[in-house]
Amino acid sequence: MEHGKSFYEVLDLNFGKCRFALAGIKDKNFYAGYSQKVIATKYPNVTKRYFNEKGVDIEIVKIDGSVELAPILGLADAIVDIVETGSTLKENGLAVYEEIAQVSARVIVNKASIKLKKNEVDDFVGKISGTL
């Protein structure tokens, strides 16, 4: 899978598994109403791409730190964050509305290395694959 224009994903390491998720106040209908939704996130590019594909107009608020506080404090309608177990969301009265994408540790290689150091990259990926 190509990432952007300069990197290729060459191997899924199958650990560090979690997911990008849209989450907000439990039992609230995120899509209710006609107003533009405000999404707090540490991942504005993932968020923008997801909602563009859905055709939903949003405003993104980039937040570092405890992003799950944004809906509780009324700063956002929902959040997009990486979720592993969901326990932090539950502790804050939030729930996952939608899963956006699966995430795991990956080996990525830039295009120049794929072309100029193909043998070295192939050897490295082969060694890692053999130990997984």
Statement: residue 1 has pLDDT above 50: no
Q: Are 71 and 94 in contact (CB under 8 A)?
A: yes
Instruction: Tell me: do 9 and 57 sit in the same domain.
Output: no
pLDDT tens-place string over residues 117-131:
888 888 888 888 877
Instruction: Tell me: do 24 and 8 sit in the same domain.
Output: no
pLDDT band at 5 (very low <50, low <70, confident <90, very high): low
Average pLDDT over residues 84-109: 91
CATH of residue 39: 3.40.190.10
Instruction: Tell me: do 31 and 89 sit in the same domain.
Output: yes
Instruction: Tell me: do 9 and 67 sit in the same domain.
Output: no
Statement: residue 89 has pLDDT above 60: yes
Tokens (6 digits) for 131: 């130990």
Instruction: Tell me: do 6 and 37 sit in the same domain.
Output: no
Across the chain, mean pLDDT equals 88
Instruction: Tell me: do 122 and 78 sit in the same domain.
Output: no
Q: Where are the beta strands (DSSP E) in the chain?
A: 2-3, 7-12, 18-25, 37-41, 58-62, 78-83, 94-103, 106-110
Full residue range of the structural domain in which residue 9 is found: 1-17+104-132
Instruction: Tell me: do 77 and 119 sit in the same domain.
Output: no
Number of domains in the chain: 2
- Residue 2 is predicted with a pLDDT of 47
Instruction: Tell me: do 93 and 55 sit in the same domain.
Output: yes
pLDDT band at 43 (very low <50, low <70, confident <90, very high): very high
Tokens (6 digits) for 18: 């979690």
